[in-house]
């Protein structure tokens, strides 16, 4: 790992600076900028940052009453290199690179409030059971025109016209934005982020990019964090904005983050495949675990106030706890196709969610079902929006309370992370409740 790191830098003498990056609970990269000649600090544990770095709210403010601020004197943790290859920041004015770190204690013990550590703990449990998850994410996002006070659909670089029509799976729309998309694919290839297909989605300027299936969930989540950062940076280079908000336009489609998951045994065989179209008993148990934990883990799938605008019937965003075969109205879909690729697709999370926490929730829930041999209810046949199924939390506050009180949350996440996330989201919710919007003034100020 150390030699790969030093060899990479030696082969790129033009690199002038390094970004030492941690991922906080909201999926935001935070850290330090240092000269490239100080790179040995990253390998030697010389980078230190407060534990509270990972537990700030979406605006970057400390969490009031957090045990990691005043109670501990805002103590530092030790930030160590994860081993994920460095990422060149070629979109900047001077060549630089980003290094992903994670947090630990002086004695080398992991800090369990680190989202990456949460996913690593789940992966270790799979490894102990002789199982290896294979995952692939699908990310939806919008390009927009950032020139006004509010985001607007982008202007086509080819026609010069602002997008004003829904154009799902349009070849011409992808071609109009090929300059941006070519850069995304080039940068991702150079940084070992495996991209598969891209389509234009339903919304104005909305795209969906699919990742390749890989048997390393930690790398998949690393790649997801870096992909989101790179897309926003490359969009700026092309004069656009890019957003992974769940619902940037109230009247248009939301943006989701779907994960496809299969499961290999020690011999590399897919344990979800039994030769049938229905899949194995292990697949059924995994689905049972996903449904059992889904309501309690909703906060990791929909972590923000805006997240809940996405969950509306008839929008392909699931509204209830259900599953089905080739059924995109259900929260968990079992795709068809060859048995060796038998898998489930988890369709709940928004593109605004933290990929480490999303994958930890999905894989943790599936493992719980496998370990306890949980049996799911019958699959949904037809429109899941019309079926009598348990509802997902429709409101942010309800999701916060469900995560706080959930009887299965402790089977997936450490008490430290559970407390940190709940405290963070309660603080954010309170600020939203105290903020009166311009629309409320326009509606009520001189009327009621």
In a domain, 312, yes or no: yes
> Is the Cβ–Cβ distance between 231 and 142 less than 8 Å?
no
Range of the domain at 82: 2-111
DSSP assigned state of 320: B
CATH number at residue 402: 3.30.590.10
DSSP state of 249: S
Distances (CA, A) of 7 to 3, 12, 29, 97: 6, 9, 25, 14
Q: Among 81, 111, 141, identify where a domain stops.
A: 111
Number of structural domains the chain divides into: 2
Given this model, what pLDDT does residue 70 score? 66
Q: Can you tell me the distance from the alpha carbon of 385 to that of 349, in angstroms, rounded to the nearest whole number?
A: 17
11 lies in some domain: yes
Q: Are residues 76 and 184 in the same domain?
A: no
Reading the block at residue 54, the tokens are 């990972």
Angstrom distance (rounded) from CA 255 to CA 249? 10
**Within-domain flag for 441:** no
Q: Please check whether residues 166 and 227 belong to one and the same domain.
A: yes
Distance separating alpha carbons of residues 232 and 139, to the nearest angstrom: 13
Please write the tens of the pLDDT for every residue from 235-256. 999 999 999 999 999 888 999 9
The Cα 281–Cα 284 span in angstroms is 5
Distance of CA 100 to the CA centre of its chain: 16
Tell me the CB-side half-sphere exposure of residue 120, using CA atoms within 13 A: 12
pLDDT of residue 168: 75
Alpha helices in 259-302 (DSSP H): 281-294, 298-301
Same domain, 211 and 245: yes
> Both 160 and 21 in a single domain?
no
- Indicate whether 118 belongs to any domain: no
Q: Is residue 84 part of a domain?
A: yes
Question: Within this chain, do residues 218 and 361 fall inside the same structural domain, yes or no?
Answer: yes
Contacts of residue 299, defined as CB under 8 A and 6 or more positions apart, other chains included, come to: 399, 400, 402, 403, 421, 422, 425
Residues with Cβ within 8 Å of residue 267, at least 6 apart in sequence: none
> Measured between alpha carbons, how far is 87 from 99 in angstroms, rounded to an integer?
7
What is the C-alpha separation between 34 and 43, in angstroms, rounded?
A: 13
**Boundary (domain end) residue, out of 85, 111, 137:** 111
Q: Are residues 53 and 142 in the same domain?
A: no
CA–CA separation, 3 and 11 (whole Å): 12
Distance CA 423, CA 440 (A): 27
Quote the mean pLDDT of the chain: 93
104 and 139 belong to one structural domain: no
The residues, ordered by sequence, that sit 6+ positions from 55 with a Cβ below 8 Å of its Cβ are 24, 25, 62, 63, 66, 68, 113, 420, 423, 424
User: Given 3-state DSSP classes, what are the helix, strand and coil percentages for the chain, each rounded to the nearest 5?
Assistant: 35, 20, 45
pLDDT tens string 145-161: 999 888 999 988 988 88
CATH of the domain at 23: 3.10.20.70
Domain for residue 418, yes or no? no
Question: Is 224 contained in some domain?
Answer: yes
Q: Does residue 203 sit within a domain? A: yes
Crossing angle of the two packed helices 355-372 and 217-237, in degrees rounded to 10: 160
Query: Which regions in the chain score pLDDT beneath 50?
Result: none
| Residues 136 and 68 grouped into a single domain | no
Choose one of 111, 134, 149: the last residue of a domain: 111
pLDDT of residue 101: 96
CA distance 273 to 262: 9
Residues 9 and 134 in one domain: no
- The whole-number pLDDT of residue 446 equals 93
| Paired residues of 334 in beta bridges | 325
Question: Are residues 356 and 323 both part of a single domain?
Answer: yes
- The answer on 297 and 207 residing in a single domain is yes
Q: What is the pTM of this model?
A: 0.95
- Residue 143, SS3 per DSSP: strand
Q: What is the DSSP letter of 89?
A: -
Q: Are residues 302 and 341 in the same domain?
A: yes
């Amino acid at each position: 790992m150390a030699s790969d790191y030093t060899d990479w830098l030696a082969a790129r003498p033009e690199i002038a600076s390094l970004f030492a990056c941690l991922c906080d609970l909201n999926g935001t990269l935070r850290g330090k900028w240092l000269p490239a000649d100080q790179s040995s600090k990253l390998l030697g544990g010389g980078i230190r940052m407060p534990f509270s770095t990972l537990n700030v709210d979406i605006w970057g403010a400390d969490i009031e009453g957090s045990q990691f601020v005043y109670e501990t004197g805002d103590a530092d943790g030790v930030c160590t290199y994860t081993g994920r290859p460095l990422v060149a920041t070629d979109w900047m004015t001077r060549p630089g690179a980003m290094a992903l770190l994670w947090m630990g204690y002086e004695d080398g013990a992991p800090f369990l409030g680190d989202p990456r550590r949460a996913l690593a703990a789940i992966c270790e449990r799979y490894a102990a059971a002789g199982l290896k998850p294979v995952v692939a994410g699908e990310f939806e996002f919008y390009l927009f025109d950032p020139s006004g006070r509010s985001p607007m659909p982008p202007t086509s670089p080819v026609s010069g016209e602002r997008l004003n029509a829904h154009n799902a799976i349009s070849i011409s729309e992808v071609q109009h934005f090929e300059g941006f998309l070519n850069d995304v694919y080039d940068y991702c290839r150079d940084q070992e982020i495996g991209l598969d297909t891209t389509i234009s989605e339903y919304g104005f300027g909305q795209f969906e990019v699919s990742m390749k299936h890989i048997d390393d969930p930690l790398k998949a989540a690393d790649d997801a964090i870096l992909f989101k950062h790179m897309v926003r940076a490359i969009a700026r280079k092309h004069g656009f904005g890019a957003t992974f908000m769940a619902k940037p336009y109230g009247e248009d489609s939301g943006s989701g983050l779907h994960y496809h998951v299969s499961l290999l045994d020690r011999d590399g065989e897919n344990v979800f495949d039994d030769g049938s179209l229905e899949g194995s008993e292990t697949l059924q148990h995994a689905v049972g675990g996903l449904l059992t934990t889904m309501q309690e883990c909703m906060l990791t799938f929909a972590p923000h106030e805006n997240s809940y605008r996405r969950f509306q019937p008839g929008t392909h965003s699931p509204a209830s706890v259900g599953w089905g075969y080739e059924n995109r109205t259900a929260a968990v879909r079992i795709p068809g196709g060859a048995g060796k690729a038998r898998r489930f697709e988890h369709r709940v999370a928004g593109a605004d969610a933290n990929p480490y926490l999303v994958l930890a929730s999905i894989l943790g829930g599936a493992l719980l079902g496998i370990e306890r041999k949980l049996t799911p209810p019958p699959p949904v046949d037809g429109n899941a929006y019309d079926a009598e199924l348990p509802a997902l939390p429709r409101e942010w506050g309800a999701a916060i309370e469900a995560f706080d009180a959930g009887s299965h949350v402790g089977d997936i996440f450490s008490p430290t992370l559970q407390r940190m996330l709940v405290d963070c989201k309660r603080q954010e919710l309170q600020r939203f409740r105290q903020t009166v919007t311009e629309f409320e003034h326009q509606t009520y100020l001189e009327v009621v």
